[in-house]
Amino acid sequence: MGKTEPQVNINSVSRISAGTLFKGEMISPADIRIDGRFEGKIYSEGKVVVGETAEIAGDVICTNVDIWGKMTGNLFVKDITSLKAGCAINGNLQVRRLIIELGATFNGNCRMITAEEYDALSKDYRQEKPLAASQQPAKEKK
């Protein structure tokens, strides 16, 4: 019997289209596709696809990633990292498995990790940050 690919529901993929600029932090239990510009931090429990027109400035923490575009920042990947021909990466990688096609550009350090090391590294990113004083609910006066 042949191996079957997991089915992805197209409606559960978050997408940043070409021409769109997003700044901040994105946290998703599903897959993410970026074709625009993203500045900040991405955490996905699924796959992140960085399209040919995409530019990312920040950290990406995910299960799998395919990169065709440009990225400046750190990459933490639990399983497979695939750097496609034409991509340009400036940053450090902490990944379990790495595929680099001819024509891909990578400037940085790479450290191969286990799934357990990824879980420990990504734990900090998954934890919610405490609210700033200005975001705290008002206390009732007695």
The Cα–Cα gap between 104 and 38 comes to 20
The Cα–Cα gap between 67 and 39 comes to 16
Q: pTM for this one?
A: 0.79
For the chain, the domains span: 10-125
What tokens were used for 92?
């450090």
10-37 confidence digits (pLDDT tens): 567 889 999 999 999 999 999 999 999 9
Q: What is the largest CA-CA distance in the chain?
A: 70
Query: How many of the other CB atoms lie within 10 Å of CB of 49?
Result: 22
pLDDT score recorded for residue 7: 57
| Helix, strand or coil, per DSSP, at residue 105 | strand
The Cα–Cα gap between 39 and 41 comes to 7
Kind of pairing, strands 75-83 and 93-100? parallel
Q: What are residue 62's phi and psi, to 5 degrees?
A: -160, 175
Average pLDDT over residues 28-57: 96
